[in-house]
Chains A and B, each alone.
Chain A
């Protein structure tokens, strides 16, 4: 695409314009821009995977899931039978298994530029500023949203549109069996957001209804009955934001 020639697909395929991210939840997650979804502490990656899949409002099309071997070894690979129970959209998923960080970033960028993909999700190590800037530029040029699932080591500034920090929370009470886990709940803190800077620091306590597959915001007080203590790994600034 870098060559000077005009491609047939560029002329005749009506390229969808990159949609502007709206200022309401989920702030364009899975619709536009590059979103970083990070662990609050080690071991939250399953929670953030669930959050990203459930919250992403993606278009129809193929999803490319790039997973780096290191993350896959630590936290397991994505099971599609489990993914289907979190999101109503039945997108085919093309998996790309990479080893090195550079290869992973290259594969993400290649997928963005391929015009065959509606969403790119990546299990990847912490991405530095320059690399994230490349991804943001490619994503805005080709209108393909990117979700980076990142470990807790993701810190510092990057060029991403938004950064979510997700931790698991005790699940909702199960109506049929009080001793069984109920609907999954997560706490997603919007650490930074370029499209809606005023929302930065906002904490969303979310619950996924496993029947309707809809995300609802639950009150921070209405936690479950089984365990009401604070979530471990909670940060003082989160408490401050809720107060």
Chain B
């Protein structure tokens, strides 16, 4: 299906869109009046002006065109859930299983054409059983419909240019006199491939031909993720108030939850699509921490989102989709909290997380997961809550004390009286000088060498051939001399990561100032480690 959006004030006046190219302005597309005067695409603008002195032109805005086309594609979801963009000026819709809702395929084409024409959009449409054939037909023979198996005969008369080929490939084919798709059928495939300069170009032509004829599969890349379930409500009269949308949503949620309950499933995402009568679609979506199908809960989460739906001139169709469907945890809730096996009601907790997420945004509710890392800020990772509380992260055995509060980014402090290999006597943090009275440490946290030793690019290849360099398995507790020797060897063979760029070790100290406040300071780097200048001091956390 191809559509050209005409928003010129006078449709009968010749009009063309132009674009600045390497050789000056040239015509990109023209309306019927201009075409009849000989203004064809790819014509220089000066020639076009000569052929048609009254030509009105405007520069093409490809970004805005793409946006408009995508918006139209989203609106097309009301006819079928799978809609894809086809080139710069087309939309591709998978109609399998949807045509009977519009009294057959011909009825569906008529319904789409009627809606688009009503919105002032000129369109050309065709239907076939492969995307390639449909695309070619829509551009060269609009209005036709090919039954499965008719592609070979149906496409034979169409120009080769409709096969979605590159300009260079079209030029080569034209030079050989191959102008119709049917002419390609009889040529031996190897002979056809030999005519092209590069193998890629030959492959592209054969691929497009095979795809059009249905000999190779062509998956569509849909604009929207395909919902697992969807229910729709056609409004007899366009609605425009949030109360009316709420009532419609109630019925949709009831239907969808019944459908999910029948399958014993729940969904973790719901989206409400409101199709406006004047074209365009508004979407509201909610995300859940764990699969759910409780109508009241879903409605409550949608409560705040409904107000933000812009009804425009009225909404005539509502669709509710369920995404990320999964089996639900079913169980009888305990009568009393004391009898429950768990202290926490997981369903109620997930419902709380959902409500907060719906109002404050995705990723606001988080839980800490433990992660195997030496570095304290990486050892505890915050991840969005997924309906399950992980085991509380405990500090790894053998680690020193950990502060109760930690800064996301360690803050640099100015050390006034530095003692080599010891905590400072005084330091300035946030413009206040603090005198260290007592201190404990250091706890040395070395950088994670496995994150920063890169493979030499000349040796390692993606296929694994010619690889002579293996990742060494080093134990940090092993002999320090051995590690030093291996590291020196590694660095000698690996010029990509020089020593001075490697991360530095940290020495952590727990210090207490005269006022009794306790800080977690660290010195980044050791004296004379060859990884940059003098070590710097940072504050990383606060002890209780």
Contacts and interface: CB of A to CB of B under 8 A. Distances in A.
A231 B514 CA distance: 9
A75 B520 CA distance: 13
Contact of B349 (A9, A114, A231): A114
Contacts of B380: 79-81
A1 to B, nearest CB: 11
Contacts of A118: 343-344
Contact of B367 (A78, A79, A92, A186): A92
Given A80-B380, A95-B366, A110 B356 contact: yes
Nearest to A48: B544
B540 to A, nearest CB: 9
Contact of B403 (A46, A94, A97): A46
B348 A114 contact: yes
Contacts of B24: none
22 contacts: A9-B333, A14-B337, A14-B338, A46-B544, A60-B343, A61-B344, A76-B405, A77-B405, A79-B376, A80-B368, A81-B379, A81-B395, A90-B392, A95-B365, A95-B368, A95-B382, A96-B364, A114-B355, A167-B516, A226-B438, A231-B515, A232-B514
Contact of B385 (A9, A50, A94): A94
A106 B352 CA distance: 12
B34 to A, nearest CB: 54
A177 interface: yes
B517 A168 contact: yes
B543 A184 contact: yes
- Nearest first, the 5 A-B pairs at minimum CB distance are A50-B544, A46-B542, A116-B348, A114-B352, A180-B440
Nearest to B396: A81
Contacts of A81: 376, 379-380, 393-395, 402
Nearest to A7: B296
Interface string A166-180: 011111001001011
B379 A76 contact: no
B89 interface: no
B356 A62 contact: no
B510 to A, nearest CB: 6
B367 A117 contact: no
Interface of A: 9, 12-14, 16, 43-47, 49-51, 53-54, 60-62, 64, 72, 75-86, 90-99, 103, 106-107, 110-111, 114-118, 167-171, 174, 177, 179-181, 184-186, 208, 226-227, 229, 231-233
B516 A46 contact: no
Nearest to A123: B405
Contact of A78 (B392, B404, B516): B404
Main secondary structure of the interface of B (DSSP, over half): mixed
Interface string B342-380: 011110110111011001100011111000000010011
Interface string B427-457: 0000000000111100000000000000000
Interface size bracket, B side:
35 or more
Contacts of B376: 79, 81
B367 A180 contact: no
A110 B352 contact: yes
A51 B349 contact: no
Contacts of B491: none
Main secondary structure of the interface of A (DSSP, over half): mixed
A146 to B, nearest CB: 15
A180 B439 contact: yes
Interface in B386-411: 389-390, 392-395, 401-408
Contacts of B516: 47, 167-171, 185, 227, 231
A12 to B, nearest CB: 6
Contact of A171 (B334, B364, B438): B438
A167 B544 CA distance: 10
Nearest to A167: B516
Given A46-B543, A103-B360, A180-B440, A14 B335 contact: yes
Nearest to B432: A43
B541 A79 contact: yes
Contacts of B542: 45-46, 75-76
Interface in B183-223: none
Contacts of A185: 516
B518 interface: yes
A77 to B, nearest CB: 6
Nearest to A95: B366
Contacts of A45: 405, 542
Contacts of A12: 333, 335
A60 B340 CA distance: 12
A116 B337 contact: no
Contact of B392 (A50, A84, A169): A84
B512 interface: yes
Contacts of B334: 13
Contacts of B408: 72, 76-77
Contacts of B368: 80, 93, 95
Contacts of B402: 79, 81-82, 85
A76 B437 contact: no
A95 B349 CA distance: 12
B336 interface: yes
A13 B337 contact: yes
Contacts of A62: 343-344, 349, 389
Contacts of A82: 401-406, 541, 543-544
